């Protein structure tokens, strides 16, 4: 009943279609129930007249009943198919929207493979159930109940005998279903783990191949699959007991009815035509009871699917705090961190009492060793996470009090991990500004030094990139990400290792364009490669979540040992034939 109530809630927007489908099933079921009564009439006439003959009226009734049952039954299937597709489409959209609106904490801790498996499998189970089981269960229930009632009308003695046997079989089948539900839950968890493992392998396929790890990963996958098969085998053995138990009960009941009913007919306590009709209904009820048991098993499966979907519904969406306001336009781009403290979960502090101010239109570099907190700074500024202590403001407004849409609308972001979608180059760059014209997209690509390789492609800007844009080199993908950020034309520009995959020549060519892009907007550039930020007027040095120093390249070389150490680690050995990056020449002279 709980599962039925949950289904009713899902189907409520389609209640009229469902109601019409159930009405068609009811008509088809009642039509089917009349067939044994027609058989009773024909047999009774034959016994009364002593000869078997079919008069036109019973024949016409028989044909009419069959046609009515066929038409209404077919109509019900079409209606339930339509409802199933519409319900799953609505839920797919709902869950896609919910996942897209979920906070970054959820996405960075969720197992994506298991999440996709849960969503697709559960929705497929729900769609199949609405198509084949929901209406079928209703129709069978009508036929079962109607047949049982007619059996009592025809012979209450035989019907009472059957009623005594039903509870014993029902108790046994229910115990089996409970066990099957547990096994199905274990199977769903094992299946999710297997899909998640395969998803991780495909994402890391380059590493797998580079380390010749295909045999090792195939062996690991096979071991996981054996575990899944073991769980599925145990579940199948439990479910397999249902069929023989129901079959054995049916044989015993039929033989009992046949012997007892025959004795009643022989002693004239039961008319023979009533016995024939009773056995006809019995032949309907017994397979119907078997099918109802299987339908109950499917109810167990759909209950599990609904449980898994409700787990996704429990994911809280990202919301603005009460009273949040949009950033006032125009955004000047003043950024200030005041005593910001932040840590991820139970890990050590990623930001430890960080304070700095960036003036509108100022360009600032951020450097530091891996794990110093550079990317965390961007995560906080984009409000992917909120600091545990301190405050971050833009134009004097605490970003916790502004809408996320207006905040992120004021920021153009080129992340370290390049994300390109399975779409054309044009649409991937236009992602930065969906309203941009094709000429504006081309201008952004020229500024990001991408126009050359794009126009050399057979389909140019209409070239489809495929999943994650893996058909392009790392440098090409990076330049497309920069073009996307430039196209956004936001007052604040965040570049996280935006040129790490570029060669020195391309980076120099891009330098003038980047200088032009930075002009008039507040820019923060994170870089491991110091040549990227050495030309900037101001650089912040981070270490273990703290700001060690703040100054120009030359000032930091004079007074900051950590910065000098970072510079020294990037100097190219003298025996190497490649020249030192021009931006690091002052550092080389200083260390010398």
Same domain, 255 and 400: no
- CATH at 493: 3.40.50.300
The pLDDT, as a whole number, for residue 271 is: 80
Same domain, 14 and 159: yes
Quick one: tokens of 151? Answer: 């059996």
Question: When comparing pLDDT for 96 and 512, which is higher?
Answer: 96
- pLDDT of 288-341, one tens digit each? 776 766 666 677 777 777 777 777 776 777 788 888 899 888 889 999 999 999
The pLDDT, as a whole number, for residue 584 is: 44
Distances (CA, A) of 282 to 138, 199, 220, 246, 296: 19, 51, 53, 14, 21
Same domain, 275 and 182: yes
| Secondary structure in 3-state letters for 473-525 | CHHHHHHHHHHHHHHHCCCEEEEECCCCCCCHHHHHHHHHHHHHHHCCCEEEE
**CB distance 183 to 234 below 8 Å:** yes
* 11 pLDDT tier (thresholds 50, 70, 90): confident
- Which of 292, 313, 334 terminates a domain? The answer is 313
Same domain, 355 and 224: no
Same domain, 290 and 409: no
Question: When comparing pLDDT for 32 and 547, which is higher?
Answer: 547
- Quick check: 265 pLDDT over 50? yes
- Which of 313, 341, 362 terminates a domain? The answer is 313
Dihedral sign computed on CA atoms, order 479, 484, 489, 490 = negative
The pLDDT, as a whole number, for residue 587 is: 43
Same domain, 271 and 388: no
Over range 535-539, report the average pLDDT.
88
- pLDDT of 103-123, one tens digit each? 777 777 766 766 777 777 788
The pLDDT, as a whole number, for residue 322 is: 85
Over range 527-532, report the average pLDDT.
77
Q: What is the distance between the alpha carbons of residues 234 and 183, in angstroms, rounded to a whole number?
A: 7
Q: Are strands 546-551 and 389-394 parallel, antiparallel or unpaired?
A: unpaired
The verdict on pTM exceeding 0.75 is: no
- Quick check: 583 pLDDT over 60? no
Same domain, 390 and 275: no
- 341 falls within a domain: no
| pLDDT mean across residues, the chain | 77
How many alpha carbons fall within 13 Å on the CB side of residue 205? 6
- Which of 313, 339, 361 terminates a domain? The answer is 313
* 50 pLDDT tier (thresholds 50, 70, 90): low
- Quick check: 488 pLDDT over 80? yes
- pLDDT of 417-437, one tens digit each? 777 887 888 888 888 888 889
For 382, residues 6+ apart whose C-beta sits below 8 A from its C-beta are 407, 408, 411, 413, 494
- Quick check: 101 pLDDT over 50? yes
- Quick check: 577 pLDDT over 60? no
**CB distance 554 to 380 below 8 Å:** no
Q: What is the distance between the alpha carbons of residues 194 and 182, in angstroms, rounded to a whole number?
A: 19
Same domain, 58 and 119: yes
Same domain, 409 and 270: no
- pLDDT of 370-403, one tens digit each? 778 888 898 899 888 889 899 999 999 999 999 9
- CATH at 203: 1.20.1560.10
- 321 falls within a domain: no
Counting residues of the chain whose pLDDT is more than 70, the rounded percentage is 76
The pLDDT, as a whole number, for residue 309 is: 78
Characterize 26-57 residue by residue with b for buried, 16 or more Cβ atoms within 10 angstroms of its Cβ, and e for exposed: bbbbbbbbbbbbbbbbbbbbeeeeeeeeeeee
Q: Are strands 546-551 and 538-543 parallel, antiparallel or unpaired?
A: antiparallel
Sheet containing 411-414, strands listed edge to edge, beginning at the edge strand earlier in sequence: 411-414, 492-496, 522-526, 363-368, 538-543, 546-551
> Structural domain of residue 262, as residue ranges?
2-313
The pLDDT, as a whole number, for residue 357 is: 93
- 106 falls within a domain: yes
The pLDDT, as a whole number, for residue 167 is: 65
Same domain, 157 and 22: yes
The pLDDT, as a whole number, for residue 55 is: 64
- 340 falls within a domain: no
* 588 pLDDT tier (thresholds 50, 70, 90): very low
For 86, residues 6+ apart whose C-beta sits below 8 A from its C-beta are 14
- 139 falls within a domain: yes
Over range 165-169, report the average pLDDT.
63
Q: What is the distance between the alpha carbons of residues 78 and 244, in angstroms, rounded to a whole number?
A: 33
Dihedral sign computed on CA atoms, order 321, 324, 329, 332 = negative
Sheet containing 335-343, strands listed edge to edge, beginning at the edge strand earlier in sequence: 349-358, 335-343, 389-394, 397-398
Characterize 417-454 residue by residue with b for buried, 16 or more Cβ atoms within 10 angstroms of its Cβ, and e for exposed: ebebeeebbbbbbbbbbeebeeebbbbbbbbbbbbebb
- DSSP category for residue 321: P
**CB distance 452 to 374 below 8 Å:** no
Same domain, 287 and 366: no
Per the listing, tokens 């405050």 go with 391
- 326 falls within a domain: no
- pLDDT of 331-367, one tens digit each? 899 999 999 999 887 777 788 889 999 999 999 999 9
Over range 66-91, report the average pLDDT.
85
Return the minimum-mean-pLDDT range out of 14-18, 128-132, 205-209: 205-209
Same domain, 89 and 8: yes
- 337 falls within a domain: no
- 211 falls within a domain: yes
Question: When comparing pLDDT for 198 and 521, which is higher?
Answer: 521
Q: What is the distance between the alpha carbons of residues 282 and 553, in angstroms, rounded to a whole number?
A: 93
Q: Which three-class secondary structure state does DSSP give residue 415?
A: coil
- Quick check: 576 pLDDT over 60? no
Provide the phi-psi class of 183: left if phi over 0, else alpha when psi is between -120 and 50, else beta: alpha
Domains contained in the chain, number = 2
* 572 pLDDT tier (thresholds 50, 70, 90): very low
**CB-based burial label for 471 (10 Å; 0-12, 13-18, 19+):** middle
- Alpha carbon distance, N-terminus to C-terminus of the chain: 82
């Amino acid at each position: 009943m709980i599962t039925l109530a949950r289904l009713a809630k899902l189907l409520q927007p389609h209640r009229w279609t469902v109601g019409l489908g159930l009405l068609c099933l009811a008509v088809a079921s009642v039509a089917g129930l009349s067939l044994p009564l027609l058989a009773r009439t024909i047999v009774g006439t034959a016994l009364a007249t002593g000869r078997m003959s079919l008069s036109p009226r019973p024949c016409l009734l028989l044909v009419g009943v069959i046609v009515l049952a066929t038409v209404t039954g077919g109509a019900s299937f079409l209606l339930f198919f339509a409802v199933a597709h519409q319900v799953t489409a609505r839920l797919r959209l709902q869950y896609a929207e919910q996942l897209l609106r979920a906070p970054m904490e959820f996405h960075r801790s969720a197992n994506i493979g298991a999440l996709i498996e849960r969503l697709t499998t559960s929705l497929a189970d729900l769609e199949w159930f609405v198509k084949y089981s929901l209406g079928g269960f209703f129709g069978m229930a009508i036929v079962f109940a109607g047949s049982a009632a007619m059996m009592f009308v025809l012979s209450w003695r035989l019907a009472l005998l059957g009623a005594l046997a039903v509870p014993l079989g029902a108790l046994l089948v229910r115990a089996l279903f409970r066990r099957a539900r547990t096994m199905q839950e274990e199977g769903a968890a094992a299946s999710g783990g297997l899909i998640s493992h395969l998803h991780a392998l495909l994402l890391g396929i380059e590493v797998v191949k580079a380390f010749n790890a295909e045999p090792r990963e195939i062996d690991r996958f096979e071991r996981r699959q054996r575990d899944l098969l073991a769980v599925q085998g145990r579940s199948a053995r439990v479910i397999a007991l249902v069929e023989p138990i129901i079959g054995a009960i049916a044989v015993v009941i039929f033989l009992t009815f046949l012997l007892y009913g025959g004795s009643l007919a022989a002693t004239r306590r039961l008319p023979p035509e009533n016995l024939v009709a009773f056995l006809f209904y019995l032949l309907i009820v017994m397979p119907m009871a078997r099918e109802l048991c299987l339908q109950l098993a499917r109810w167990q499966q759909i209950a599990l699917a609904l449980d898994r979907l409700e787990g996704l519904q429990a994911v809280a969406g990202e919301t603005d705090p009460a009273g949040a306001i949009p950033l006032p336009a125009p955004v000047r781009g003043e950024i200030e961190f005041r005593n910001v403290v932040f840590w991820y979960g139970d890990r050590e502090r990623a930001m430890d009492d960080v304070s700095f101010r960036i003036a509108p239109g100022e360009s600032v570099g951020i450097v530091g060793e891996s794990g110093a907190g550079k990317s965390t700074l961007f995560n906080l500024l984009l409000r992917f996470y909120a600091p545990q202590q301190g405050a971050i403001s833009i134009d004097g407004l605490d970003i916790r009090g502004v809408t996320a849409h207006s905040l992120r609308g004021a920021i153009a972001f080129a992340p370290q991990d390049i994300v390109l979608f399975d779409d054309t180059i044009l649409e991937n760059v236009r992602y930065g500004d969906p309203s941009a014209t094709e000429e504006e997209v081309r201008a952004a690509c020229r500024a990001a030094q991408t126009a050359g390789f794009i126009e050399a492609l057979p389909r140019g800007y209409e070239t489809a990139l495929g999943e994650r844009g893996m058909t392009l080199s790392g440098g090409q993908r990076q330049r497309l990400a920069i073009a996307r950020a430039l196209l956004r034309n936001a007052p604040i520009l965040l570049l996280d290792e935006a040129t790490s995959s570029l060669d020195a020549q391309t980076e120099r060519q891009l330098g003038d364009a980047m200088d032009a892009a930075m002009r008039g907007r507040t820019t923060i550039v994170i870089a491991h490669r110091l040549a990227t930020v050495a030309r900037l007027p101001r650089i912040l040095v981070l270490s273990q979540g703290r700001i060690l120093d703040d100054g120009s390249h030359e000032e930091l070389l004079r007074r900051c040992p950590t910065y000098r150490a970072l510079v020294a680690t990037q100097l190219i050995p003298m025996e190497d034939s490649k020249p030192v990056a021009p931006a690091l020449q002052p550092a080389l002279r200083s260390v010398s």
